[in-house]
Structure 1
Amino acid sequence: MGLIRDLMAQPGVLAAGEYSYRGDRFSYEGNLTREMARMASIMCRATHMGVHMECDILGVFCPGCGLVPSRGWAVRGPRFSVCVMANFFCILENRDGVMNAVLKCMHESLDEVAIDMV
C-alpha cells in the first residue's frame, strides 16, 4: 500500500501498517516483529472502535460539534505515539513536528476513504 510506504518515509516513523475492520488481517512495515505488529493492529482496531462509539455518543449530546463521524485518534506516551486514521496505524517517535507531518500525510491520503465500515 502506498500510504504505508509514504508514512515509513517520514522522519521519526518506526512502523506503519493497515488492519482489516474484521480484525483478521494486517500488513505492516517497520521496526516491529510480526507478533508485535499483530498485537498493535488488534489494539488499534479495538481502540478505534471504542473511540468511534464514544464520538457517536458525544455527537448525540452536541449535534454539529465536529466529532462525528470520527476519523481517527492519536495517543502520546513518554517516548512514542500512535496515530490511527481509518484502518491505518503509525507508531512514531515523540520529536518536534513528527506527529504533525504524519497526521497531514494520513489526512491527505485518507480524507476521501469511506469510514462507514468502522
Structure 2
Amino acid sequence: MSVYSELAVMEGVIAAGEYAYRGDRYNFKGQLSEEMARMASIMCRATTMSTHMQADILCANSDNCPFESAHGWIVMGPQFTVCVMANVFCFVQNEPGVLNRIFERMRDKLMDADEMV
C-alpha cells in the first residue's frame, strides 16, 4: 500500500496524494474533486520547490548552516492543514491531536525518502 493510501484512511484526513515533481502526474484518495486534486498537486509542488530553494539560499550564505535540506512543510488554515513531505501531501482536519498523528506517520514513512517516493 502506498504512503498516501495509508494516510487517506487515517482519522481526520480529508485527502492525501502524491505528485510528480515534473507536475504532470498525481494520485490521490479522499474528499477532493479531480480538479481540486490537480490544483493541490500543483500548489504542493510549487511550495515544495520554494521551500527547498529558501533553505538552500540560507545555507549558501552561512559558514555553519543550521539546516539540513528541507524535508517538507506545513501550513495551517482556519478549517484544515496541509502537510507535505517528499512528494506526498495530506489535507488534515483541524481537530485536537490529528495533525500530530498524521505528521508522525509521514515522518516515519518519508523522513529518509529521496525527493520522490
* Both structures adopt the same fold (TM-score exceeding 0.5): yes
Moved over 4 A (4+): none
SS in structure 1 at match of 2:113 = coil
Superposed CA offset, 1:38-89 (max 9, x none): 0000000001000110011112244341x22100000000111100000000
Partner Cα distance (1:3, 1:41) in 2: 16
Unaligned runs of 5+ in 2: none
Q: Does 1:93 align with 2:88?
A: no
The 8 Å contact of residues 56 and 68 in structure 1, kept in 2 or not, is answered as no
Partner Cα distance (1:4, 1:34) in 2: 16
Q: Give identity over the alignment, percent.
A: 49
Partner Cα distance (2:12, 2:61) in 1: 38
Partner Cα distance (2:27, 2:89) in 1: 10
- Normalised TM-score (structure 2): 0.91
Unaligned runs of 5+ in 1: none
5 Å-filtered alignment, 1:21-40, equals 21-40=21-40
CA RMSD of aligned residues (A): 1.4
The 8 Å contact of residues 5 and 17 in structure 2, kept in 1 or not, is answered as no
The 8 Å contact of residues 4 and 17 in structure 1, kept in 2 or not, is answered as yes
